[in-house]
Structure 1
Amino acid sequence: MIIKTTTPTMESADAYNAEVSANATRFAASLFLGRGKFANAEADTREAIDAAAAQLSADNPNATAKPVIVAFDATGNQTVVSGKPHKAPKAAKAPKAPKAEKAPKAPKAAKAPKAPKAEKAPKAPKADKPAGGKRAEILASAEAGTLPAKPDFSAATHARFRKKLDEIIALVDAGDIKALKAYPINPISSSPKAMDRYRNLAVTALEAQRKAAKAEAK
């Protein structure tokens, strides 16, 4: 059997497909079942391949696509005559180019240091309050030459200072101004403070007495 071979016209795609289909010598059916899987069938006539394609669909009810039927002429030219060929999976999208890193923000200018607060002028020391009332009278009496009264150390809190007080009284009675001034007293509590006041007033009175005596001697 001599098969006549012709070259399909290339005037248009439709003309090419119609000529290959009209001169087809065999047919093939392919059903897409899943990734990389197909069910195939072949036949010599269009009627036979349509029946084979229907059987492929019946044998594979889970297939969502319809079988694709392709016609071939004697020289191997082909065209799809039924159904749509399975589309190749889309190529993976190229990864997006990484976003350009934002330029780092310029550091904030350092705040100027606050001017130091002006130092407050020191308060003027308070003037000593003038002795008033009874104290003024006692001081006036001492300045007039009258010896002060001896402190009363009869209370138990003064017990350990009585000996010192007796020593100060003895110096007052002896009129020893130099020894009185040199006598050590640390006025940190009530008893030493009382002795210190007595000693100072006594010195003032003794000095006044000496001054008066010298004035009379002239």
Structure 2
Amino acid sequence: MTTPNLTSPEAYNAEIIANAVKFTASLFLGRGEYATIEATSREEIDQLAEMLSTEHPTVKSKPVITAFDAAGNQAVISGQPAKAPKAPKAPKAEKPAKEKPAKAAKEPAADKALGKRAQIAADAEAGILPAAPDFSAATHARFRKKLAEIVALVGKADIKALKAYPINPVSSSPKAMDKYRNLAVIALEAQRKAAKAKAKTEESTPEAGQ
């Protein structure tokens, strides 16, 4: 009588399965009842095990498949593949990573040309007065008087009066006047701030004014 390889449980089971002369599939039905079937090959017992599961659809468990060698040694093989697994493929040699061409550095946002609206806003913050809107079209006719009044206040640099001037921006004409008034206020305030800074500098350095 040959004793299977006892170096490890895996080796023991593998040798019994390799030398098996009989296979059984046993399905537990409940309360000590089993449905058991035998075969002489692994392929056949797998098919019969599937048949057992089909015949007992209410049983959720799977049949337990066991292999027996000529000496009566047994090994449970449920869940193991019928065919020996294929040897794993050798890993592919890694391809050298291709060097990507360096992207040209993007130009700083400050270097890009400002949009028209952004430029007008930047000019106002720098103390440059905006141009008055063009009200020559007939659609602006009834707002020309108010625009003239706003332009006059801008000319006088009357910031307080400009801020208090009533404008209801509900249509294109009032919206244009409101935008002009707001930009003018920003520019006039920037001019006033620059003038105060200059005067302060001259006071601290009298020789500069001589």
Superposed pair shares fold, TM > 0.5: no
More helix by share: 2
Compute the TM-score of the two structures, normalised by the length of structure 1: 0.40
Q: Which has the larger radius of gyration?
A: 1
TM-score by length of 2: 0.41
